[in-house]
Amino acid sequence: MSKKPSPEDEAVPSISRMLHRAVQTAADLHAGIAGPGALTPRQHAILEAVAAEDGATQSQLVAVTGVDRSTLAELVARLADRGLLERSRSTTDARAKQVRLTEAGRERLEATRPAAAEVDQALLGRLPEDKRARFLKDLGRLIAATPVAPAADPAGKTGGKTKKKSKKSKKSGA
């Protein structure tokens, strides 16, 4: 019977695959600890981000959480449908949507924080104690070195074309 090769057995391990597996491991731990019907790690991350910056736009939440724009919009809509978040038009830009925690969202977030902390501890517990601080520091470096895609406008739309001034308007200063 042959043993399944592990990423450590490869001459040059695929970092992307290892990170993906680490995320899967974290999600599995989260599901086991938090239990059925609990918030997912992404949902929890969104609630935490909104709690930290009440009234943040969805574009700001994309930058903070790393969740892609379309997934974040869908998750925010679902959390709003469940009464945990509320969305409203920005007071400074009618194209942008601001997100706020509802009272039910605040209560749910408080209730899920212990399980999230337990998952973090369970993950770190898999590493030797003297390597944990360095691991966290290095993960932080990877994240900090990742460029955040700039939002084209406060509403978070990208790919739009900007109008170029015509030769006539350049001459007239318009």
Q: Please check whether residue 54 is in contact with residue 100, taking contact to mean a CB–CB distance below 8 angstroms.
A: yes
Least confident of 94-98, 147-151, 155-159: 155-159
| More confident: 4 or 171 | 4
| More confident: 40 or 7 | 40
> What is the mean predicted confidence (pLDDT) over 61-69?
91
Q: DSSP letters of 18-40?
A: HHHHHHHHHHHHHHHHH-TTPPP
> What is the mean predicted confidence (pLDDT) over 61-90?
93
Predicted confidence (pLDDT) per residue in 86-117, tens digit? 999 888 887 888 999 999 999 999 999 999 99
Output DSSP code: residue 128.
-
Give the model's pLDDT for residue 154. 41
> What is the mean predicted confidence (pLDDT) over 132-142?
94
Q: DSSP letters of 49-114?
A: HHHHSTTEEHHHHHHHH---HHHHHHHHHHHHHTTSEEEEE-SS-TTSEEEEE-HHHHHHHHHHHH
> What is the mean predicted confidence (pLDDT) over 46-50?
96
Sign (positive or negative) of CA dihedral 91, 97, 99, 100: positive
Q: What pTM value is reported for the model?
A: 0.73
